Structure 1
């Protein structure tokens, strides 16, 4: 993998991790289209996710700081922050169970482009249905049942082509949560999952050469910078209730890549 390819894949990750179009699906398709591309391995994918995790931490730093200090504070807002922290922990449990159980299965599907394309079409349908069935402005009060369902949705998004942000946001919209609160919870819920995956991949770092690590770091930086822009863009789209734009994109992209992979 060249430096230019690493940066391009990092930028792609930064855009598609937060936009509900499946980052794993787009990486799988992009890598299949690059002539002579050498698969960098799991560590590179994890580091790209680290870049997007840092983007979330920067964009939602005020929220994150409140959550991390909530157990030690006694001010008026500490109770709500402790509850949100507990919701994120509850939501992370089903994600971890599904992720650990389905990791090998999902890895095997990564290079199966017809399956990835089909899952993009599924993602588009999920987005379209959630946009059409959402009721009014929705509530900002996320409950424990909502957190569990969002965690399950995030776990199932281990399948390439299923959007993590799309499935978690859609699941919360269908539960009556307003779009901005759903997106914020979705972004924060991703952080424990990415952190856990990073810990599991630490042993792989010593297997990477200095030249490869330069490309890995460049890709991570690209994912971070583009990720910040993508978060801002998605929140603006959600406020305008235009998620169906992404549904149409997923349908078209899925159908196109399905056709190309079968011809």
Structure 2
């Protein structure tokens, strides 16, 4: 398989899975095993192309970000609470990520961890869908500070490959009494500082390798970025509509099935 095709496939996988509760990192790791490429070489690529999916959120919700920005200039309480909630929820993963970056990168090379995390995460989603009470908190700015901190701490679980950052934050918010759509949008907005931080950290740590690989590697990153951006635009719109109709259980069953198939396949190699 040509490297160009690998780039396009990984961009599609990232765009589809970044905001669904199925783990984009886990799918990229399993894709690496399935396609048989050197996952260590593509590790930084996989992190940086996530910014393409993040840009899709900025484009889709530009009116929200514009309103918040204008509100901050007037020191509007709603805009201030919106930004405060995003930043506070981001802090736990930022601190833990800096402390554990080497350990996290070690786990990125383990598809077995991904498979088990997919299964256990699917079971957790089914449990929360069944027992969590309908959320009453509507609007990102209206989430109480204690619940914001709780979501931020829960997001740290997503450092385990296969857990899913979006899944952890969305289901964590639901379990804490946040309404479905608000939980999903809070997860989308929280992804912006989280993935910007992760990408910046990855680039700084591997900057020498990136520079040594030259212009072709940068071209691959640009292409993967563009593909993930376009795919994520479509997926996020679809996801918001699906959540309102069907909840999160379809993703839970997908995770369980994908995890079982991955375990069987890994065991047969």
TM-score, scaled to structure 2: 0.91
What residue in structure 2 maps to residue 138 of structure 1? 136
Deviation at 1:38, TM superposition (A): 5.7
Q: Identify if the C-alpha distance between structure 1 residues 53 and 262 changes in structure 2 by more than 3 Å, giving closer, same or farther.
A: same
Does residue 156 (structure 1) correspond to residue 157 (structure 2)? The answer is: yes
What residue in structure 1 maps to residue 218 of structure 2? 213
Q: 1:163-212: CA deviations, max 9, x gaps?
A: 11111000010111111000111000011111222332444253341112
Unpaired segments ≥5 residues, structure 2: none
Q: What pairs with 1:13-52 in structure 2 (closer than 5 Å)?
A: 13-37=14-38, 39-52=40-53
Q: Identify if the C-alpha distance between structure 1 residues 115 and 199 changes in structure 2 by more than 3 Å, giving closer, same or farther.
A: closer
Give the RMSD, CA atoms, in angstroms.
1.7
Counterpart CA distance in 2 for 1:259 and 1:188 is 36
Q: Identify if the C-alpha distance between structure 1 residues 41 and 97 changes in structure 2 by more than 3 Å, giving closer, same or farther.
A: same
Does residue 237 (structure 1) correspond to residue 242 (structure 2)? The answer is: yes
Q: Identify if the C-alpha distance between structure 1 residues 232 and 57 changes in structure 2 by more than 3 Å, giving closer, same or farther.
A: same
What residue in structure 1 maps to residue 89 of structure 2? 91
Residues 14 and 28 in structure 2, CA contact (< 8 A), matched pair in contact too: yes
Counterpart CA distance in 2 for 1:200 and 1:109 is 17
Deviation at 1:36, TM superposition (A): 4.3
TM-score, scaled to structure 1: 0.93
Residues 124 and 250 in structure 1, CA contact (< 8 A), matched pair in contact too: yes
Runs (4+) of structure 1 exceeding 6 A deviation are none
What residue in structure 1 maps to residue 59 of structure 2? 58
Unpaired segments ≥5 residues, structure 1: none
Deviation at 1:122, TM superposition (A): 1.6
Deviation at 1:153, TM superposition (A): 2.0
What residue in structure 1 maps to residue 79 of structure 2? 81
Q: What pairs with 1:86-235 in structure 2 (closer than 5 Å)?
A: 86-136=84-134, 138-140=136-138, 141-203=142-204, 204=207, 205-235=210-240
Residues 103 and 158 in structure 1, CA contact (< 8 A), matched pair in contact too: no
Farther-moved stretch of structure 1 (121-130 vs 172-181): 121-130
Counterpart CA distance in 2 for 1:38 and 1:126 is 29
Q: Identify if the C-alpha distance between structure 1 residues 69 and 40 changes in structure 2 by more than 3 Å, giving closer, same or farther.
A: farther
What residue in structure 2 maps to residue 262 of structure 1? 267
Q: Identify if the C-alpha distance between structure 1 residues 186 and 248 changes in structure 2 by more than 3 Å, giving closer, same or farther.
A: same
Deviation at 1:46, TM superposition (A): 2.4
What residue in structure 1 maps to residue 5 of structure 2? 4
